[in-house]
Structure 1
Amino acid sequence: MTTITLARDEDVGELTLFASHSFTHTFGHIYDPADLASFLAAWNPSEKLRAQIADPAWAIALAHGADGSIAGFIKMGPLDFELPEGQPGEDATELHQLYVGAAAQGKGIAAALMDWGIVWARERASILYLSVFTENARAQAFYRRYGFIDVGRNQFRVGNHVDEDRFFRLDL
């Protein structure tokens, strides 16, 4: 059974390492090492995570493995991107990140975190957005199973490298 808890200050160090490792494991082969390093340094710095943990507009939930270590996490919060033309932004929130460690994949952790995130979002908004890499077919299929629809494109910068992402929307 997956245990999900809200992140606390004392989780920041482990969460920072987990997030960087997960992103690098999933996408690191795409980027020049200098671009990846500059992105990771700015992506989830400890002080930013601490501020988000303390801010009620944000929530970071952690899934713990049997040994108590982080097996996955989801970060929810205010919109921080420009929506595609015609997409409503009022009464909306964003799923910023959802990562499950490689060893924990296929064990229902992503689904448990997503279920938690949707409940959190429904208590605050009527629309949930996320952005997903165009070449991450597994993640796109996962989000579509939850009823998300593709509503447009987004550029995602990693250092000097620009990826094309897709915006997905779920009406809550």
Structure 2
Amino acid sequence: MTQINLATEAEAEEISRFAEASFVHTFGHIYDPADLAAFLAEWNPPSRLRAQIADPDMAIALVRGDGGALQGFIKLGPIDFDLPEGQPTEHATELHQLYVAPEAKGSGIAAALMQWGIDWARERASILYLSVFTENPRAQAFYRRFGFVDVGRNPFRVGNHIDEDRIWRLDL
């Protein structure tokens, strides 16, 4: 059984480093170094994470390995992207991030975090949205297994580079 705990403000710096390393590991090769650096500087600083951890409308939950090292986390809260026309925002929330350490992929941590996130969202909303990069078929297959469906486009800016992301929806 995977132990999942809510993050504390004291863990914000560690989560920030983990998120940055995960993003760079998965997507860093795509971007010009200046675009990547600009994005990372604004995207997930510890100060923003501390505020999100303290926000009762958000949740950040962690999984640690046997030695205490962070192995994965999930972040959920209010929607912060534009939804395609016709997609309801009332009673909706967003899965902002779900990252797992490269060495922990395939271990069941992602599935445990996702189920935790769905349960958290279900207590607060009737719809869960997320945004996923079009060039990330592994993540898309994962979300599809949980019942998410593609509902539209979401341009995702990394510095001056704009990726084609897709917005996916799960009716809770």
Shared fold per TM-score greater than 0.5: yes
Aligned to 1:168: 168
Residues 87-140 of structure 1, C-alpha deviations (whole Å, 9 max, x = no match): 111110000000001011000000000000000000000000000000100000
Q: CA RMSD in A?
A: 0.6
**Counterpart AA for 1:112:** A
Counterpart-to-counterpart distance in 2, 1:154 and 1:13: 28
Aligned to 2:151: 151
What is the SS of the residue equivalent to 1:154? strand
What is the SS of the residue equivalent to 2:99? strand
**Counterpart AA for 1:95:** L
Counterpart-to-counterpart distance in 1, 2:69 and 2:38: 26
What pairs up with 1:117-128 in 2 under 5 angstroms? Answer: 117-128=117-128
Q: Which runs of 4+ in 1 moved over 6 A?
A: none
Q: Following TM superposition, by how much is the alpha carbon of 1:157 offset from its aligned partner in structure 2, in angstroms?
A: 0.2
What pairs up with 1:19-168 in 2 under 5 angstroms? Answer: 19-168=19-168
User: Which region of structure 1 is more displaced relative to structure 2, 51-60 or 2-11?
Assistant: 2-11
Aligned length: 172
**Counterpart AA for 1:113:** L
Structure 2 length normalisation: TM-score?
A: 0.99
What is the SS of the residue equivalent to 2:72? strand
Counterpart-to-counterpart distance in 2, 1:2 and 1:20: 23
Counterpart-to-counterpart distance in 2, 1:37 and 1:6: 29
What is the SS of the residue equivalent to 2:76? strand
Long gaps (5+) in structure 2: none
Q: Following TM superposition, by how much is the alpha carbon of 1:2 offset from its aligned partner in structure 2, in angstroms?
A: 2.1
Counterpart-to-counterpart distance in 1, 2:87 and 2:14: 36
